[in-house]
Amino acid sequence: MPTEPKLPPIESAAPTSPESGAKIVIEQGRPRVHVESPLMMESLIDKQVIDRTYEEHEVAILPDVHLVHLGGQGTIDRGAEVLLPLIDEIVRNRAEHKILIGVGGGIRERHTFALATDLGLPTGALAQLTGVICKQNATMVYYLLARHGGVRIARENFHKLPYYMNAGGIPVIVDMPPYHFWEHMPRVGRIPKHRPDTGSYLISEVYSCRSSIFVKDVDGVFTEDPRVNPRAKLIPRVSASELLAMNLPDLPIERAVLEILLLARNRKEIRIINGLVPGNLTRALNGEAVGTVICQ
């Protein structure tokens, strides 16, 4: 596989845009019309071509923004008792940190999955039904934040995030990713594998966020289920591959997050913290050791 493609003799047409130097190229003998680019005449399935694109520089899009995911079941479903102190903590931190809030689904999401599974709906259908639960949660969090500059942003408006951040807003987004009909079939069962944790993590990866913090109702990842074995130990730091190899029966975060983390370019670690403990979020935003860090 030559790195410089050996081109057959070509006839060049005039550059379409002189600045970029993009050229229309007409292959001789084989009447195909090309546009000159490093990938011209390459198969995009070729492994080496694919590998060549790996090292390329990726732009950091929102590198100073913390992405904070509020778990549905762990924080929002617990109501005022848990959510109001968390909202206060977010507002207290906004002077120092740029914060983007994403919300999960929770128990109504699970109810929907249970009901839809009973009704015989496929995974791609299930994946379309629970976005509205995150929407409900995002709406509630937005109203709690409104007087502090909360703003609820739909996916179509993500490109306006910098504006809302600069205008002093605290954006609230829905974390359920829009896999919809196109959700991948899981190996077992019918529950969509890309759920709000995954959506949140993917946004932090794409936007090269400063951190990806998952606020849940557990201290982090334990060696065993702490409810079953009280002597189970909290794991302060673990790699995604180790964690996957441990094959724990339950995890406080979706498995798809770990799978994607293995391949991350930008956001190479995430943190799970206990939102029931006041001050944890502040410490996590300041980069202090709290909860469990899962790294690449």
20-79 residues near another protein, rule: CB under 8 A: 73, 76-79
CA distance linking residue 123 with residue 180, whole number of Å: 9
Q: Are 127 and 183 in contact (CB under 8 A)?
A: yes
How many residues interact with another protein (rule CB under 8 A)? 50
The first and second tokens of residue 271, run together, are 């943190």
Closest CA to 10 of 19, 1, 23: 23
Query: According to the binding rule CB under 8 A, does residue 4 interact with another protein?
Result: no
173 Cβ partners below 8 Å, 6+ apart? 100, 101, 102, 103, 138, 152, 153, 155, 158, 203
Q: Which is nearer to another protein, 18 or 120 (CB)?
A: 120
Query: According to the binding rule CB under 8 A, does residue 112 interact with another protein?
Result: yes
Q: Which is nearer to another protein, 84 or 232 (CB)?
A: 84
Q: Which is nearer to another protein, 17 or 166 (CB)?
A: 166
Closest CA to 267 of 287, 295, 290, 248: 295
**Stretch of 10-18, 25-33, 110-118, 228-236 contacting another protein, by CB under 8 A:** 110-118
21 Cβ partners below 8 Å, 6+ apart? 15, 36
CA distance linking residue 75 with residue 59, whole number of Å: 33
Write the Ramachandran bin of 143: left for phi over 0, alpha for psi from -120 to 50, otherwise beta. Answer: alpha
Identify the residue among 5, 63, 162, 168 touching another protein (CB under 8 A): 168
> Pattern of binders to another protein over 237-276, x per CB under 8 A?
-------------------------------------x-x
State in angstroms the smallest separation of the CB of 279 from another protein: 11
Query: According to the binding rule CB under 8 A, does residue 220 interact with another protein?
Result: no
Residue 41 amino acid letter: M
Alpha helices, DSSP H only, in 146-226?
A: 161-166, 196-206
Q: Which is nearer to another protein, 158 or 164 (CB)?
A: 164
Identify the residue among 136, 223, 239, 241 touching another protein (CB under 8 A): 136
Query: According to the binding rule CB under 8 A, does residue 283 interact with another protein?
Result: no
State in angstroms the smallest separation of the CB of 96 from another protein: 18
Q: Which is nearer to another protein, 157 or 296 (CB)?
A: 157
Run of H or E residues at 26: strand 24-27
Q: Which residues form the interface with another protein (CB under 8 A)? A: 73, 76-84, 106-108, 110-112, 114-116, 118-121, 125, 128-129, 132-133, 135-136, 139-140, 142-152, 164, 167-169, 274, 276-277
